[in-house]
Amino acid sequence: MVKLLVAKDYEELSELCTKEFVRCLQTQATPKLGLATGSTPIGTYERLVELNRRGEIDFSSTTTVNLDEYMDLPPSNEQSYHYFMHHHLFDHINIPRENIHIPEVDRKTADEDIKAYDKILDKVGRRHIQLLGVGVNGHIAFNEPNRRQALRTNITELTEETIKSNSRFFDSIDEVPTKAISMGIGDIMNSDQIILIANGENKHWAIKTLLESDFVDFQYNPATILKLHPNLLIICDEACYNG
Ligand code: GLP
């Protein structure tokens, strides 16, 4: 079942998303959260940091798994998703460091990196919430449009469109990595609730085609797979919804 909330703007979107996390953190003894990067979740993370600072939510028994990481960027690089997550969330909340999981790309071979993350995902198991942003082409995590979609952790080649879109965070487009390690679709779906957030006109196509499609087509829009999830909440703003 798809539930849709259309917020008037990014602030309201972030409020609505934060509420879902707060409910989970306040009702689960050991919350398990799937977290996302990109600019969209920043407003939610800011609010979670503030609520934690005020003592209204507690992360001491929370475990997190992240969706993805660029290949060939060390965690100290400001564009890495390791850096992003620590900078926007983990450095400011009371989560035990050992409960934080982000795909690592530092082993001898990519295959070892993949196996290591699958092992972590098996150990953490089903999450209470999986937060997702969406690419302009419908990619979720870094699972790009493709007829074949990996169920588990995989190395993906980023499309031209994604490289171009993500280049806004880098000094030049040449610095954007062309490969990433990403959680697979099967593990993304292994969650009690999926919350997909999207704001701005440039996400209109991805959300509109997801909402309107009565088919699943990974090549056309990989996010259409999410319609198979029994508890999908889409929160978008009016600019995204109306286009
Ligand atoms: C990256 C991430 C995705 C994210 C997307 C959208 O490609 N791998 O997980 O959903 O960016 O990012 P933004 O929220 O900045 O639009």
pLDDT in tens, 93-145: 999 999 999 999 887 889 999 999 999 999 999 999 999 999 999 999 999 99
For ligand 1, atom 1, the nearest C-alpha belongs to 38
DSSP tag of 143: B
- Cβ–ligand 1 contact at 223 (below 6 Å): no
- pLDDT value, residue 137: 95
Of 213, 150, 144, give the one whose Cα is nearest residue 2.
Answer: 213
- pLDDT value, residue 108: 81
Say yes or no to pLDDT of 212 above 90: yes
- Cβ–ligand 1 contact at 153 (below 6 Å): no
Q: Which atom of ligand 1 is nearest to the CA of 203?
A: 16
Could you tell me the strand order of the sheet in which 179-182 lies? 68-70, 179-182, 154-157
- Cβ–ligand 1 contact at 37 (below 6 Å): yes
Say yes or no to pLDDT of 44 above 90: yes
Q: Which atom of ligand 1 is nearest to the CA of 133?
A: 10
Say yes or no to pLDDT of 241 above 90: yes
- pLDDT value, residue 183: 98
For ligand 1, atom 10, the nearest C-alpha belongs to 133
68 in active site: yes
The model's pLDDT over 177-199, given as tens digits with 9 standing for 90+, comes to: 999 999 999 999 999 999 999 99
Say yes or no to pLDDT of 72 above 90: no
- pLDDT value, residue 139: 96
139 in active site: yes
Say yes or no to pLDDT of 164 above 90: yes
For ligand 1, atom 9, the nearest C-alpha belongs to 141
**pTM for this one?**
0.97
**Catalytic one among 99, 137, 143, 166?**
137
- Cβ–ligand 1 contact at 166 (below 6 Å): yes
113 in active site: no
- Cβ–ligand 1 contact at 162 (below 6 Å): yes
- pLDDT value, residue 1: 79
In the block, tokens 């490969």 appear at 179
Q: How confident is the model at residue 20 (pLDDT cuts 50, 70, 90)?
A: very high
Q: How far is the CA of 37 from the centre of ligand 1 (A)?
A: 6
Q: Token pair of 156, please? A: 């993906």
Q: How confident is the model at residue 215 (pLDDT cuts 50, 70, 90)?
A: very high
User: Could you tell me what percent of the chain has a pLDDT over 90?
Assistant: 95
The partner residues of 235 in beta bridges, in order of sequence, read 5, 197
